[in-house]
Structure 1
Amino acid sequence: MTTTFITGANKGLGYETARRLIEQGHIVLLGARDASAGNAAAGKLGARFVQIDVTDDDSVAAAAADVEHHEGWIDVLINNAGIQGPAGDPSDLTGADVLSVLDVNVVGVVRATTAFLPLLSRSADPVIINVSSGMGLLEVTHDPSRVESTYLAPAYTSSKAALVMLTTQYAKALTGIRINAADPGYIATEFNGYSGPQTVTEGTDAIVALATEGRGHGSGRFVDRHGEITWS
């Protein structure tokens, strides 16, 4: 049975990913910063809650130690936790604004990945999925036919572009692990004021596909719900 750890899973994409993977037989460890919200979500789904704040080294280490003690390994790590930061005109954007977004969306992925690598190394088929966005791709954000080209979110888009490169670097270095990025697309969640045209379930299609595809598939890919897309 596959054991999957998901960060930021008490709501939105993380919660729906957990729900769908549990339906498919995964043991899901639901990671969340807020203990009350995390316990409530895990209780509804039949997951096990593990407290984790990806911006805090001690919290991430404690989460990995908790999983070490209870499960002993994981098969899939889904780096889902993310924040948007300021949107719109960047004239008043501050360094602190950008650093806070990078700390969750990029550095948080590094913290979690490093902490959970020893647990992944015990899996027969280890997988890391980084939840990125088409907002981090130059081609997509310059294509006037795509909604991503109309939206200004300088800190968020920069962080997702960085996560794209981070994913490829990990995939090149850690050849024994399948490491890919998923683009949920523009979905209706609290994250964007429920303005997206896709449902949250549609937004998890790529994540669930990567978590369940099994051995023999490639690493270093960027996948949306329609399939693999180019890193441009």
Structure 2
Amino acid sequence: MTTTFITGANRSLGYETARRLIAAGHTVLVGARDAERGRAAADALGARFVPIDVSDDASVAAAAADVAAHEGTVDVLVNNAGISGPHRAADELTAADAAGVFDVNVVGVVRVTHAFLPLLRRSSNPVIVNVSSGMGSFAATHDPDRVESTFPAPLYAASKSALTMLTAQYARALPDVKVNAADPGYTATEFNGHSGPQTVTEGTDAVVELASIGPDGPTGQFRDRHGVLAW
């Protein structure tokens, strides 16, 4: 039985990832900041809700302690929680705006990974999947044929670029854990006002694939639903 913890799992890509992994036989723990929405999502999925705010040290520590007391181990950690940040012109963005976005999208992943590593190391096949974005890829944002090159998002894109590098460095520094990054692609979610052309099922293909790898699976990769991405 594979036990999987997903942050930001109460809606959109996180919820669909949870649904698909439950269907594949995983025991899924729905992590969410909003208790009411998190419990409702977990109840609908037939999963267990664990409150977690990835921007709060005490909340993350409490979530890890909760899982340690109930499940005792985690096989797969999906760092899905993220924010887009303020939608303002680049010359109006402030240091506080940047700190807020990076605190969730990058520092939050460090918080959760640090807290859950002891639980992951109790698994015979520990796996971490960080939900990144093609918006953080130099290759994608400079390719005129890709949607990522068509609009600026300085803080979000920079945070996802940092997350992809964090993934690569964790993969190198933690040889006992498989650590990969997934790009959902431009998917119709609440995150973008449901403007993306992909369904949430298509958007979670890479996440589900990487969450399902075996002992001989890859580490340090950045993938979308079509394969390995240039970064």
CA positional deviation for 1:4? 0.1
- Residue 205 of structure 1: aligned partner: 205
- Unpaired runs of at least 5, structure 1: none
Residues 81-100 of structure 1, C-alpha deviation per residue, up to 9 Å, x if partnerless? 00001235201001111110
d(CA) in 1 for partners of 2:213, 2:33: 29
CA contact (8 A) 1:87 1:154 kept: no
Give the SS at the match of 1:54.
Answer: coil
CA contact (8 A) 1:86 1:153 kept: no
d(CA) in 2 for partners of 1:222, 1:76: 17
d(CA) in 2 for partners of 1:88, 1:229: 29
CA positional deviation for 1:102? 0.3
- Residue 174 of structure 2: aligned partner: 174
CA contact (8 A) 1:125 1:214 kept: yes
- Residue 58 of structure 1: aligned partner: 58
Letter in 2 for 1:131: V
CA contact (8 A) 1:188 1:194 kept: yes
Q: Please report the TM-score for the alignment, with normalisation by the length of structure 2.
A: 0.99
- Residue 125 of structure 1: aligned partner: 125
d(CA) in 1 for partners of 2:178, 2:40: 31
Residues 8-36 of structure 1, C-alpha deviation per residue, up to 9 Å, x if partnerless? 00001000000000000000000000100
Letter in 2 for 1:73: T
CA contact (8 A) 1:30 1:47 kept: yes
- Residue 45 of structure 2: aligned partner: 45
CA contact (8 A) 1:125 1:215 kept: yes
The percent of aligned pairs where both chains have the same amino acid is 68
1:61-100 paired onto structure 2 within 5 Å: 61-87=61-87, 89-100=89-100
- Residue 161 of structure 1: aligned partner: 161
- Unpaired runs of at least 5, structure 2: none
Letter in 2 for 1:56: D
d(CA) in 2 for partners of 1:89, 1:144: 22
d(CA) in 2 for partners of 1:228, 1:165: 15
Write out the 4+ residue segments of structure 1 that deviate beyond 6 Å after TM superposition. Answer: none
d(CA) in 2 for partners of 1:99, 1:152: 18
Letter in 2 for 1:172: R
- Residue 189 of structure 2: aligned partner: 189
Q: Please report the TM-score for the alignment, with normalisation by the length of structure 1.
A: 0.98
Letter in 2 for 1:202: E
CA contact (8 A) 1:131 1:183 kept: yes
- Residue 18 of structure 2: aligned partner: 18
Residues 125-149 of structure 1, C-alpha deviation per residue, up to 9 Å, x if partnerless? 0000000000000110011111100
Letter in 2 for 1:65: A
CA positional deviation for 1:213? 2.3
Give the SS at the match of 2:28.
Answer: strand
